[in-house]
């Protein structure tokens, strides 16, 4: 799973999210809400947390949640934590290779004819860094 910091950077760069079952996210709520809630990782599931799409936007509905009083949150108040397979899919045709190094992973992508490499000890972070470059250049 990618770090919250990278997830926030991807969101800030313009990466969109259309919640699907199995997606993981954290909350990004105003400071007036309990800070420990933001550290929790939630998973979209029709049984407990389902995306509800309205003309005014998407909300994440919490069905039967009794731990704390939260019925729903706006999609803008959630930070998507894409999985490795989702990151790879989002890189699409720019992805060239994944290489296991001694203590890290290297993802190579080609963007606008230029090959770029992104290295990190966590494979998801390496994919996420490559995606951040791609999303940033597409703006």
Query: At residue 50, what are phi and psi to the nearest 5 degrees?
Result: -125, 140
Query: At residue 28, what are phi and psi to the nearest 5 degrees?
Result: -130, 75
Q: Largest Cα–Cα distance in the chain?
A: 52
Which of 11-15, 16-20, 23-27, 58-62 has the least mean pLDDT? 58-62
Q: What is the pLDDT of residue 65?
A: 55
- pLDDT tens, residue by residue, 69-98: 567 788 898 999 999 999 999 999 999 999
**Rounded to an integer, what distance in angstroms lies between the CA atom of residue 38 and that of residue 25?**
10
Query: At residue 129, what are phi and psi to the nearest 5 degrees?
Result: -65, -40
Q: Considering only CA atoms, which of 83, 85, 81, 65 is closest in space to residue 73?
A: 65
Which of 52-56, 65-69, 123-127 has the least mean pLDDT? 65-69
Q: Cα 40 to chain center, whole Å? A: 14
**Rounded to an integer, what distance in angstroms lies between the CA atom of residue 91 and that of residue 95?**
6
- pLDDT tens, residue by residue, 31-48: 655 666 777 898 887 777
Q: Is 139 helix (H, G, I), strand (E, B) or coil?
A: coil
Q: When comparing pLDDT for 118 and 74, which is higher?
A: 118
> Are 95 and 88 within 8 A, CB to CB?
yes
């Amino acid at each position: 799973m990618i770090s919250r910091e990278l997830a926030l950077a991807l969101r800030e760069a313009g990466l969109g999210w259309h919640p699907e079952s199995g997606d993981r996210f954290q909350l990004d709520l105003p400071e007036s809400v309990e800070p420990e809630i933001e550290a929790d990782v939630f998973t979209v599931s029709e049984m407990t947390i389902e995306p509800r799409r309205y003309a005014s936007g998407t909300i994440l509905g919490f069905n039967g949640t009794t731990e704390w009083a939260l019925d729903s949150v706006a999609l803008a108040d959630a930070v998507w934590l894409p999985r490795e397979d989702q990151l790879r899919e989002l890189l699409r045709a720019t992805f060239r290779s994944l290489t296991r190094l001694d203590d890290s992973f290297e993802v190579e992508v080609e963007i606008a004819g230029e090959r770029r490499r992104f290295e990190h000890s966590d494979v998801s972070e390496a994919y996420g860094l490559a995606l951040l470059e791609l999303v940033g250049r597409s703006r």
